[in-house]
């Protein structure tokens, strides 16, 4: 096994340093120019890897084996979030209002670590390995869709993804067979009324009151229209109304957010019900509602059971039984990793990064702070998969 020949301590330090450099320079979806240059330069410094830039941002590395075999792909995402970081560290974000609050910096750093090792073993490869550093996962349409449509990945036989999870014990790899994540649908609702002076509300049609009622009414859909044995989420994440003045009722209010579902039937029912509830709740306030869903959004990841079993064995071989677990519960997050299912079977796993004896804020939180000691486990897991499948 390769693990006996790898200097893990030095590799772990490299991965942490790469992650910290990217953490200092977070960039929003589809604008990851510094990150792309950093990844291109670092990936190019490893032997035997051909480096491509198939989109304005994002990088793909190709390691071609000397012997025939399958082509496997590992995917990391590279974009950050519009979040003002609250952590005070030597590597905190240098860009105000932008933060790697979802761990994409760590995903990329871990994949660099994997590439740095496997590039030294080209002569033992029975097949090919593709390292995907994908742009724009956080913003629909995500970067995976364009990569799939470009044809650059058509030769891949299987895809693997790994994501940090702060609620899971540090260093543990967790996998859900079958449905692993939710369908995500992004919505925007405009409620229109008639503005006027706040001292004479009877001469206006107040969209703010209607919007507040809509927010509450939407929650009845899951509670009263969805089978309790199914799962669904409707989250209104923003309500914008007025311009900050205190004496004028606005003409319109806007709600936006996402839904999360796990089946096609529930997904369709939620959309129909939301349009109905928004229309008639607004009408009861003499307002009108215009409900729009993004034309395209993220579908659920369906993990291939056979790949999951291979991944479990790989994790146990390199990490030990205590650092792997299957789960029966899918995550309600949306992930554009699901797009790669159009090409080949996929396996999407979670890496626990819970800091011992701390609060461990969730993903997308301004205080998100993963346990860096867990990153080397993510690297070992991916190297184990490569050794099992193409070496």
Q: How far is CA 207 from the centre of its chain?
A: 34
The rounded distance, in Å, linking the Cα atoms of 272 and 85 is 38
Q: Which of 121, 298, 318, 340 is catalytic?
A: 298
The rounded distance, in Å, linking the Cα atoms of 7 and 12 is 9
Residue 298 known to be catalytic? yes
Residues 6+ apart with CB under 8 A from 59: 36, 39, 40, 43, 51, 52, 53, 133
Residues 6+ apart with CB under 8 A from 292: 187, 188, 189, 190
| Beta pairing partners, 194 | 205
Residue 372 known to be catalytic? yes
The rounded distance, in Å, linking the Cα atoms of 35 and 23 is 10
Q: Which of 318, 372, 381, 387 is catalytic?
A: 372
Per-residue b or e along 251-279, where b marks 16 or more CB atoms closer than 10 Å to that residue's CB: bbbbbbbbbbbbbeebbebbbebbbebbe
Q: What phi and psi values does residue 155 have, to the nearest 5 degrees?
A: -85, -5
CA distances from 212 to 116, 206, 282 (A): 53, 11, 10
Q: Quick check: 262 and 330 in contact, CB under 8 A?
A: yes
Give the closest residue to 315 by CA, choosing from 378, 230, 242, 257: 378
The length of the chain in residues reads 391
Q: How far is CA 21 from the centre of its chain?
A: 20
The rounded distance, in Å, linking the Cα atoms of 291 and 77 is 31
CA distances from 390 to 50, 121, 249 (A): 18, 11, 65
Point out the residues that are catalytic: 298, 372
């Amino acid at each position: 096994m390769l693990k006996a020949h790898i200097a893990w301590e030095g590799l772990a330090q490299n991965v942490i340093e790469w992650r910290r450099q990217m953490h200092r320079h977070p960039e929003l979806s589809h604008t990851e120019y510094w990150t792309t240059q950093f990844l291109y330069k670092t990936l190019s410094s490893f032997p035997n890897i051909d480096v491509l830039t198939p989109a304005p941002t994002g990088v793909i590395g190709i390691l071609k084996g000397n012997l025939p075999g399958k082509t496997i792909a590992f995917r990391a995402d590279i974009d950050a979030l519009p979040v003002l970081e609250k952590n005070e560290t030597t590597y905190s974000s240098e860009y105000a209002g932008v933060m790697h609050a979802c761990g994409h910096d760590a995903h990329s750093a871990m994949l660099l670590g994997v590439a740095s090792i496997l590039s030294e073993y080209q002569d033992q490869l029975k097949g090919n390995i593709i390292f995907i550093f994908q742009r724009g996962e956080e913003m629909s349409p995500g970067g995976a869709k364009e990569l799939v449509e470009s044809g650059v990945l058509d030769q891949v036989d299987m895809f693997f993804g790994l994501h940090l999870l702060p609620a899971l014990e540090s260093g543990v790899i967790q996998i859900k067979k079958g449905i692993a994540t939710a369908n995500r649908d992004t919505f925007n609702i405009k409620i229109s009324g008639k503005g006027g002076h706040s001292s004479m509300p009877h001469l206006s049609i107040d969209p703010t009151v209607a919007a507040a009622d809509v927010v509450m009414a939407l929650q009845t859909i899951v509670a009263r229209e969805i089978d309790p044995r199914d799962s669904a989420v409707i989250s209104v994440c923003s309500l914008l109304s007025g311009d900050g003045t205190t004496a004028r009722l606005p003409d319109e209010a806007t709600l936006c957010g996402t839904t999360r579902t796990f089946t096609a039937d529930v997904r369709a029912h939620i959309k129909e019900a939301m349009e109905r509830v928004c229309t008639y709740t607004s009408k009861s306030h003499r307002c009108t509602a215009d409900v729009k869903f993004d034309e395209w959004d993220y579908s659920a990841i369906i993990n291939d059971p056979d790949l999951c079993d291979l991944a479990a064995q790989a994790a146990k071989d390199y990490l030990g039984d205590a650092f792997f677990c299957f789960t029966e519960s899918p995550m309600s997050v949306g992930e554009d990793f699901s797009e790669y299912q159009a090409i080949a079977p996929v396996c999407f796993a979670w890496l626990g990064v819970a800091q011992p004896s701390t609060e461990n804020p969730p993903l997308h939180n301004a205080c998100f702070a993963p346990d860096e000691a867990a990153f080397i486990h993510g690297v070992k897991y991916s190297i184990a998969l490569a050794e099992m499948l193409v070496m």
